[in-house]
Structure formats: C-alpha cells, structure tokens
Amino acid sequence: MSATALTEYNNARITRYLQSIGKECFVTYFFLFDNFKLSTKDIIEQMKKDGRNFTDKSYRSRINKARSIIKAGKSRDALINVSNSRVPEYVRDQARQLAKGAT
C-alpha cells in the first residue's frame, strides 16, 4: 500500500470512528479516553454522571474507538478533523486547543 493510500485509509478510518463516537463526545472526554490508567468502567461511570445516556454496548464502542485513535498516534489528526467540522463553535475551539498539545 502506498503512503498516500495509507494516509487516505487512516483519514477515512478516523472520520468513520469520529462519526461513531460523536465528535463532541470525543473532544469532551478526550482526557479520559487518553488516560489508560482509567478502566472502561471508570469512563462509563463519569459519562453517566454527566448525563450521557447510551447503551452499555454503545459506551464501550465509543471508548474503544476513541482509544484506538489515540493508540494509533492519530489524536492530533482527529482533533484537527473535529476543529474543521460542522460542530458547535465551542467544540471546534476546544478541539483546536487540545490539538496543540496532542501527538
């Protein structure tokens, strides 16, 4: 696979994962997703405290996809994707700020 094809594949995967996670969710919980000392259960509990109402399967899927992006070293690309998306301005601003420090 060429470098261009690999980049397009990764960008397509990032876009697809962000759609599954929810761009606002990815940004809001970025620090939790990025903290691998926290268990999936810990993150689910925090999301529930914040009033998120997903099925257990949906919580796990969102967390696994977010952590997959982070483990692949694509946090910055994902955050830039969000900052260039049609999401509320505060989400774009937060994504830009997070992207400055992300790898």
pLDDT tens sequence across 50-86: 999 999 999 999 999 999 999 989 999 999 999 999 9
Pairwise CA distance, residues 84 & 68, whole Å: 21
In terms of pTM, does the model score above 0.85? yes
Indicate the SS3 state at residue 75.
helix
The pLDDT value recorded for residue 8 is 55
Q: Which structure tokens are listed for 92?
A: 């774009």
Domain membership of residue 84 as a residue range: 3-101
pLDDT single digits (tens) 8-57: 558 889 999 999 999 999 999 999 999 999 999 999 999 999 999 999 99
Give the chain's domain count.
1
Pairwise CA distance, residues 74 & 67, whole Å: 10
Of the two residues 2 and 86, the one the predictor is more confident about is 86
Query: CA angle, 3 as apex, 62 and 100 as ends, to 5°?
Result: 50
Q: For residue 16, how far is the Cα from the chain centroid?
A: 11
